[in-house]
Structure 1
Amino acid sequence: MSKASLQLQRQLLAVLADGCFHSGQKLAEQFGVSRTAIANYIQELEQVGLDVYKVKGKGYGLARPLLLLDAQRIKQLQPSVAAPVLVQHITDSTNLQLMQMLHNTTPLLKGSVVVAEAQTAGRGRRGRPWYSPYGSNLYFSYYWRLEQGVQAAMGLSLVAGCALCSLLRREYQVTAQVKWPNDIYIDGRKIAGVLVELAGQADAACNVIIGIGLNIALPETALQHIDQPYADLMHSSGKSVDRNKLIVQLQNELTMALNTFELQGFKPFQQIFNQYDVFAKRLVNISGTAAATGICLGVDENGAILLEQDGKVQAFYGGELTLRAGA
């Protein structure tokens, strides 16, 4: 899609965002295009997960009002010292976009963020697709540079998960919990995932990208795309959610957490994780490159999950491991 078409699509969304119905003919006249062009733009938005009602005699209307991401408002909400936030309309993946920016000649500032209204190639752990409908969630990628190198990154996904849980509990009064090694749950249902990607050498500075997908207000069609129980922040908190404000809050929360992590490692987050652990004292199964069943005792000071088996405690580290509730 051309830059002009993207701009018109964005302007069309700004009109539809009030949740009211708008005549296709009037929209065509307002934007100086044909009714067919308006219908095509609507169809493209539906293809990226936006719920649009089409009613004869009334026109087009969104299933719910939509507060669009606004780069100017985000900047106004940020502290003066904060790193920039790049707002994209529709992108492949915010993590991929941030990774590409690392190859630019201008160095990225620590704490820089990329967000988008929708992703066409969102990814979770092990390359699994991440359902990314338009305007429904937070698609957020954060940049950091670890001077200590790749080896110092152990436990980083847990640090990000703890930071997100703390923010959700404090600002939205929900009982968010962490599932080792990279998921966030509310009332036993997944609400967010963390994907950490590293670029660097073991003995040199390391670039870190922390991708976070957070369900905000999923459309009814989500049931067709998500194969596990899920939660979203709007329904869990009973509040409307301003994603622009949430982006600034999350950027600040991660910056504070990573500054602590750089100075002290994972140890300060051990107690936080164990307080938020969704599987605390429960029977769990580990599968993948290792297999085990035992009682979950939280994590050690390095972020390894601890399982008690026949009176013995064994530590398991991340990588290609999956943790699930036991039978």
Structure 2
Amino acid sequence: MTDSEAPDPQSCPAPQLRPLDEPHLQRRLVEQGPFARLERVDSIASTNARLVQELSGAAGAGWPHLCVLTAEEQTGGSGRLGRSWASPRHSSLSTSVVLRPALPAQGLAWISLLAGTALTEVLREEYGLEAQLKWPNDVHIRGRKISGILAALAGGGPDAGGALILGCGINVLLTEDQLPTPTSTSVLLELQRAQQDGQTQRAQHSDLRTALLAAFLERFAATLTEAESQGSVAPLCPRITAVMDTIGQEVRVELPGGSAERGTAVGLQPDGALLVEVTHRRREADGPWEEQAAEQRSFSAGDVVHLRRR
């Protein structure tokens, strides 16, 4: 979003900040839905860290498959490569889900992509927003980040009696001056922009955070159940790539060790890794650069920067 495209704060009413409607979430997700437990806390350092700690000890028995911990405020969350992340009170969604899925070990690597696909579909279908999935775990709208997803193993992971913890942060009611980075956005800002552009808003809610959290968790649980029934995530790969903007892009993959590779993202591997066609360049003395034969490389970790579509 350029400065000229940004919503005018004078024309946009301030959002009403209120706690999540916990009774509604309990009724919809637990009593009538597939979830075993939902706990809401007022403030927490990190929902992922809290669950990893509890599932590594005796308290883990109280967190079976499909349990949810959500916080009104998160003060010490973390993203990929150890980056810090916090959320203002009553403005974002900071949520973690306990998972013990009936999937082979290789399928666990797809969980973040399944969650990102579920959120992207909800933003598109229920809110009319042009959301896209960015490998491996971000959701963007027009190139601006609206959500980050991070998975962590607890208690050795599902195969060792532990679990996979899936954390998801979503910018919902953040205003321009609250955005964590210049390349971020929020559901509120995107809905306001769509309204100013004359686009139809498909849904308006008095409690946007509660409605979005419920819709996202329902869609994610249904998507995970579909993968479990197939015994593999592979049949869902076309659905994932259909909402992913990374495939076909020229990208730079920034690796955990500090190095980087550049090429064209051409697909996903069976373990969810990104397949990139890397073209090496070389030159002799002061001669011109010459491209070498392309080599396909697989990346299971790293940040991806979209450069331009080929």
Pair in the same fold by TM > 0.5: yes
SS class of match (1:278): coil
Find out whether 1:144 has 2:99 as its counterpart: yes
In 1: Cα distance, 2:242 partner to 2:60 partner: 42
Q: Which has the higher contact order (CA 8 A, sep 6+)?
A: 2
Does structure 1 retain, via aligned residues, the 8 Å contact 2:44–2:73?
yes
Q: 1:162 to 1:105 in 2, by over 3 A?
A: closer
Q: Which residue is 2:264 aligned to?
A: 295
One-letter amino acid matched to 1:97:
R
Q: Which residue is 2:190 aligned to?
A: 236
Q: Which residue is 1:20 aligned to?
A: none
How high is the TM-score relative to the length of structure 2? 0.76
Q: Which residue is 2:245 aligned to?
A: 278
One-letter amino acid matched to 1:86:
E
Q: Which residue is 2:8 aligned to?
A: none
Does structure 1 retain, via aligned residues, the 8 Å contact 2:175–2:186?
no
Find out whether 1:208 has 2:164 as its counterpart: yes
More deviation in 241-250 or 159-168?
A: 241-250
Q: 1:132 to 1:299 in 2, by over 3 A?
A: same
**Runs of 5+ in structure 1 lacking a partner?**
1-61
One-letter amino acid matched to 1:291:
A
Q: Which residue is 1:100 aligned to?
A: 53
How high is the TM-score relative to the length of structure 1? 0.72
Q: 1:63 to 1:168 in 2, by over 3 A?
A: closer
1:1-327 matches, cutoff 5 A: 64-78=15-29, 79=32, 81-102=34-55, 103=57, 104=59, 106-146=61-101, 150-199=105-154, 200=156, 204-223=160-179, 226-238=180-192, 239-240=204-205, 242-262=208-228, 263-288=230-255, 289=257, 291-310=260-279, 312=294, 314-319=296-301, 321-326=302-307
Residue 149 of structure 1 deviates from its aligned partner by 6.6
Q: 1:244 to 1:204 in 2, by over 3 A?
A: same
In 1: Cα distance, 2:104 partner to 2:162 partner: 5
One-letter amino acid matched to 2:305:
R
For the pair shown, the structure with the greater C-alpha radius of gyration is: 1
Does structure 2 retain, via aligned residues, the 8 Å contact 1:190–1:230?
yes
In 2: Cα distance, 1:206 partner to 1:176 partner: 33
- Percent of paired sites with the same residue: 30
Residue 205 of structure 1 deviates from its aligned partner by 4.5
Q: Deviations over 1:14-73 (max 9, x none)?
A: xxxxxxxxxxxxxxxxxxxxxxxxxxxxxxxxxxxxxxxxxxxxxxxx954223212212
Residue 266 of structure 1 deviates from its aligned partner by 2.6
Does structure 2 retain, via aligned residues, the 8 Å contact 1:149–1:206?
no
Does structure 1 retain, via aligned residues, the 8 Å contact 2:139–2:146?
yes
